Structure 1
């Protein structure tokens, strides 16, 4: 795993982040230090992932200018915000910031909160931005309501819209779904997906939820104890055997594909991925639609031959790239390469021995259609 995002061709839109920050230890407090030196992509959603206390929010506050580091450099799209005595204060940085709590102005309606953001935006946003954002976040029925009249998910949608209406060059989101229950989270996630698709805006998304990162992020930064533990594309990070993003039974990969066929008789859809195709339940999918699918390692089995007499529809020819198996433990994690795609399989060490599977083995990966998450 690369220590930071270093693209083959450096883009002028990238975000250079170098911060050194230390809080001394005190009685009952071990102290904390942040040491980050990396280049983040200036496009798409970068998920900043890690457990509580790993430094995610501190990093975001340094980027926002809310926390001044002992030594630091921040360059956003070629513009220096911090370096060698230069420090652009937070109120002059063209950023939108969405916190865990919506932090709406209670005395203003939803519309009033949005109009307040428009008045403060510099430079003045395009005239059509307001209507676009209101439509994107489906806020028309909520505009006349005050924050106390909105659900938690509705308040957060207004907060996201308010951040967008400041016409930012960079959007920071600090665990925006952490205060919501499961139902409200699932209500708001589709809006965040639309935001990724419709705005050419770099977004730094802090979360300790692998589910959110897997669904939203294009790139991932892994934080641990104030340091960068690894970074790369979503596929690289999730497919890395040695990147402990989740317990073994929650390990998964995300594949980007496209719908190439819909079978109305069986209500299935065929998804082309690099190296093969997958069948899954058709939940209102259409031919040509891009689709992101998640496959859990626990739902992948390995065979030496393609078995046509199986209830499992998805059989993918693969080569074994690597195996992570600890002596004394029953289960192993296997990294399988399918064309340019990588998936993981969680199987017993006994099965690997019985089938004589080792790195370089040519095998077939089987994935249940019912287990694929889209």
Structure 2
């Protein structure tokens, strides 16, 4: 368990935040300049706050009131940044084992072979960093951090410097290290698809402060109508079971009590539980059965809440059959024309091509499809 409570005043920015994080991946989420990386640097000991206390399990890493400040090298925290920062004159194997020598043998609980297997880098060991792709370099950087056997892994936007293809390539490897090493991870990102796929808990930052904490569904859907950016960022997470692969059309069908979700790609295995991220702006509402339409995902529910300001948009919360909630963004004009209000039954329509397959999170086991 990491416990964080720090205040740091700079000429142009005030940071004052507190949060806790446990096992699995906790995402520090928010726009650029909101304080996410500041928190990471303070935990790592790279910067020192004006006031603060940071503990990791039963170890006090920082307590300004008591005069405690464990130096960075003694905190046993692994770091992965946007840039892999590999030594160009060393082989991949030498880069991987470099940090391991700074860890006492008695504390080396993460094995070399296990890391190589999980990250899929066995064929790269004799190569130099200059010959690697961006995704390969970042996997080596993650391996180097893991091989120090850290008590906590900090990942500061590790995919930000990669193109879309390389990001999609590396996400499964981060999932595997999350699941197989049982290592608490703080993961900084402003990319919704990364957060929804990887994190079990989200800490949302704005302007140097924590404004929300909770599950991805709770935090990412808890967006008001204060700005266009907030409206466009709102999303829901809907969980279902993989029921069918359609290789002829390259889609997967997900069974849900409210209906069937059709998502791009042949993902997961039959019977596996899948968490699907759906943006509020990608949800349309229909009264009754929508009839002949191209939209494959049609979910039945009841309007639970309508949040409408003076602007054009309203946020509609739909209680889906089965208990989950889905947020839809609609114009106030549309709601008025359809006569929709709290308590009305609707069908939520989601275009399959609008679902980002990078945000699909596999959280169960099944059989090979």
TM-score (norm 2): 0.86
| CA RMSD between the two structures | 2.5
**Hey, what's the Cα distance between the residues in 1 that align with 2:103 and 2:256?**
42
Report the equivalent of 1:231: 213
CA distance change for structure 1 residues 155 and 276 in 2, over 3 Å: closer, same or farther?
same
**In the alignment, is the contact (CA less than 8 A) between 1:34 and 1:226 conserved in 2?**
yes
Check whether the contact 2:243–2:270 (CA below 8 A) recurs between aligned residues: yes
Q: What is aligned with 1:158?
A: 140
| Deviation of 1:271 (Å) | 2.0
SS in 1 for 2:116: helix
Q: Does 1:39 align with 2:20?
A: yes
Distance 1:188 1:278 in 2: 25
* Post-superposition CA distance 1:186-222 (Å, at most 9, x none): 2222222222222211111112222322332221111
Within 5 A, what are the aligned runs for 1:1-374? Answer: 14-23=1-10, 25=11, 31-40=12-21, 42-83=22-63, 84-122=66-104, 123-126=106-109, 129-242=111-224, 246=229, 248-262=231-245, 269-273=252-256, 277-281=260-264, 283-307=266-290, 309-329=292-312, 331-338=313-320, 339-374=322-357
8 Å CA contact 1:241–1:335 kept in 2: the answer is: no
For residue 231 of structure 1, report the CA deviation from its aligned partner. Answer: 1.5
Deviation of the 1:35 alpha carbon: 0.8
Q: Report the count of equivalent residues.
A: 352
Whether contact under 8 Å (2:16, 2:208) holds in the other structure is yes
- Deviation (angstroms), 1:115: 1.6
Partner of 1:28: none
Give the match's secondary structure for 1:75. strand
Distance, in Å, in 1 between the alignment partners of 2:25 and 2:252 is 27
Q: Is the 8 A contact 1:239 1:342 kept in 2?
A: no
> In structure 2, how many angstroms separate the alpha carbons of the residues matched to 1:82 and 1:262?
51
**CA 277–75 in structure 1, closer or farther in 2 if over 3 Å, else same:** farther
Using the TM superposition, name which of 312-321 and 148-157 deviates more: 312-321
Q: Which moved more, 1:312-321 or 1:273-282?
A: 273-282
Q: Structure 2 unaligned segments of length 5 or more: list them.
A: 358-369
1:164 Cα deviation after fit: 0.7
Deviates more, 1:341-350 or 1:77-86: 77-86
Q: Are the aligned partners of 1:320 and 1:359 in contact in 2 as well (CA < 8 Å)?
A: yes
In 1, Cα distance between equivalents of 2:354 and 2:240? 16
